[in-house]
Amino acid sequence: MCGVVFASPVIFLQIWRFVSPGLYRHEKRVIIPFALISTLCFLGGAAFGYLIVFPAAFKFLLGYSSEFLEPMPAVEEYFSLALRLFIAFGFMFELPVFMVFLGKIGVVSRSFLSKNRKYAVLIAFIAAAILTPTPDVVNQLLMAGPLILLYEISIVAVGLFGGTTLAGFTARVPAHEEPSESSDPQ
C-alpha cells in the first residue's frame, strides 16, 4: 500500500508520458498540473477510503460476532480489505480529472453531464453495491455519496476548464449539442 502511495506521482507521470507523444508541444505543458492534481486526488481518495470507510467496513465485519462465533480476522484478510478500499477510493477520486480531460477533447460538456445526472446517481449506487466488500447500506452510502459529490464537482470543473482552451487544448462541441439552424430567434 505504501508503495502505491509513494509511487503514485511516478505512475501518473508514466501514464501522461504514454499519452503525450500523440500531443502537440503546447498541449504537453499540462504535464505538471496533471501529475500534481492526479496525485492529490488519488491520495485524497485513498486517505478517505482508509481513514473513513475502512473502519466502518471492518466494524461491520466484526459485528457478526456472538457468544458462539468469535471473529478472528487474519492479517492477509485485513490487508486485502484495506488495499481494495485504498485503491478503489483512490481511483474513484480521479473522476473530476478524467471528466475534465473528456471535456477538453470534446466528449462531454457541462450541459451533457447536468442532463444525465440521474443516470450518474444510479451508476454510483450500482458501483457502490458491487465494489464495497461488505453488503451493508452504510458502507455502500460511504462509497456512493462521495462518488455523487465527485460527479457534481466534475460538472463544475468541466464548466470551468472543459469548454475553454487550457494549455492549448481546444474543445469540440459534441454533435448532440450543436445549435440547429431551425431554432427560433427570440
pLDDT tens track for 6-41:
787 788 778 878 877 877 776 677 767 777 888 889
Query: Does residue 122 surpass a pLDDT of 90?
Result: yes
Binned at pLDDT 50, 70 and 90, residue 168 comes out as very low
Percent pLDDT > 70 in the chain is: 81
Structure confidence at residue 166 as a pLDDT band (50, 70, 90): very low
- Cβ–Cβ < 8 Å for 134, 60: yes
pLDDT tens track for 54-89: 888 777 777 777 777 777 777 787 788 788 878 888
Over residues 122-126, the mean pLDDT reads 92
Contact 74, 132 (CB under 8 A): no
The pLDDT of residue 1: 66
Measured over the CA atoms of residue 28, residue 30, residue 36 and residue 40, the dihedral's sign is negative
pTM for the predicted model, two decimal places: 0.69
Long-range contacts, stretch 163-167, CB < 8 angstroms, 24+ apart: 163/103, 163/109, 163/110, 166/30, 166/104, 167/26, 167/27, 167/29, 167/30, 167/33
